[in-house]
Amino acid sequence: MCRLFETIRIDNGIPSNLGLHEQRLNRSRRELFDLNDELRLSEYTRVPEEFRSGVYRCRVVYGQTIVSTEFTPYVPAAVQTLRLVHADTLTYDHKYLDRSSLTGLINRDLADDILIVREGCVTDSSYANIVFTDGRQWLTPDTPLLPGTMRERLLRDGIIEAERITVDTLGRFTHFRLINAMLGFDSPLLPIENIIR
């Protein structure tokens, strides 16, 4: 059976962006399993007492139903460099538990992570969406592999805008950030030169 997951940031006992995670979970259940009942993540993310101080990662694994919920301390990945990887046929349109199609593209001898390019368009890293700045505005590719919950929140709040970004237009930017459910807009600011072609 196909399994998927949601990673939810728990900040001092409070789940972040729970509504957006719930929307994605139920959309995936409709599209993959033809299920129209709505699961409520709040019923599965009750934070145990020992995880109510500090930042934790809550991982909810699911298929047709919720399979498991796990809380672990959050340790950010030390990603400083990305290598452009062209993968025109790669799809990752749901948050599948099996991420081997993504992780198999990483060569840590060349860079910490990858920046995936499909048909000339920039998409995502292996584990996060990306935002770029030219010093005036923040833009995210309008061609993500998987639109993340943090990306959606920042778009709704008007902090970032979506635009077509190609390999050829990367030079117009000065810096980038990786964002995901655990990494907010205060994630490390990295120079565009850290993207290796």
* Residues 100 and 57 placed together within one structural domain of the fold: no
Residue 92 sits in the same domain as residue 177: yes
Cα separation of 177 and 12, whole Å? Answer: 24
Statement to judge: residues 184 and 129 lie in one domain = yes
> Beta partners for 10?
15, 56
What pLDDT score was predicted for residue 103?
94
Q: Which helix (H) or strand (E) holds 124?
A: strand 121-125
Cα end-to-end span (Å), the chain:
37
Domain that holds residue 19: 4-73
CATH number reported for the structural domain that contains residue 88 in this entry: 3.20.10.10
| 52 and 130 both lie in a single domain | no
**Same domain for 59 and 89:** no
pLDDT digits (tens, 9 = 90+) for 115-172: 999 999 999 999 999 999 999 999 999 999 999 999 999 999 999 999 999 999 999 9
Cα→Cα distances 58→21, 26, 27, 94, 176, Å: 12, 17, 20, 18, 26
Per the prediction, the chain carries an average pLDDT of 96
- Give me the number of domains the chain comprises: 2
Q: How many CA atoms lie within 13 A of 7 on its CB side?
A: 19
Please tell me the predicted confidence (pLDDT) of residue 1: 65
Provide the token pair at 144. Answer: 């993500």
CB 96 within 8 A of CB 127: no
CA 45, CA 69: separation in Å to the nearest integer?
7
DSSP codes joined into one string, 22-68: HHHHHHHHHHHH---PPP-GGGT-PPPGGGSSSEEEEEEEESSSEEE
Judgement on whether residues 102 and 157 belong to the same structural domain of the protein: yes
Coil, helix or strand for 8? Answer: strand
Same domain, 66 and 86: no
Full-model pTM: 0.95
Check which CATH number belongs to the domain holding 69 and give it: 3.30.470.10
State which of 73, 90, 123 marks the end of a domain.
73
24 pLDDT above the threshold of 90: yes
Same-domain check for residues 61 and 125: no
| 61 and 119 belong to one structural domain | no
Domain finish residue from 56, 73, 90:
73
**Rg (Cα) of the chain, in Å, rounded?**
17
Residues in the chain, total: 197
90 and 116 belong to one structural domain: yes
Residues 103 and 183 in one domain: yes
Rounded Cα–Cα distance for residues 80 and 119 (Å): 25
188 and 103 in one domain?
Answer: yes
Q: pLDDT digit string (tens) for 41-97?
A: 999 999 999 999 999 999 999 999 999 999 999 999 899 999 999 999 999 999 999
Choose the final residue of a domain: 51, 73, 95: 73
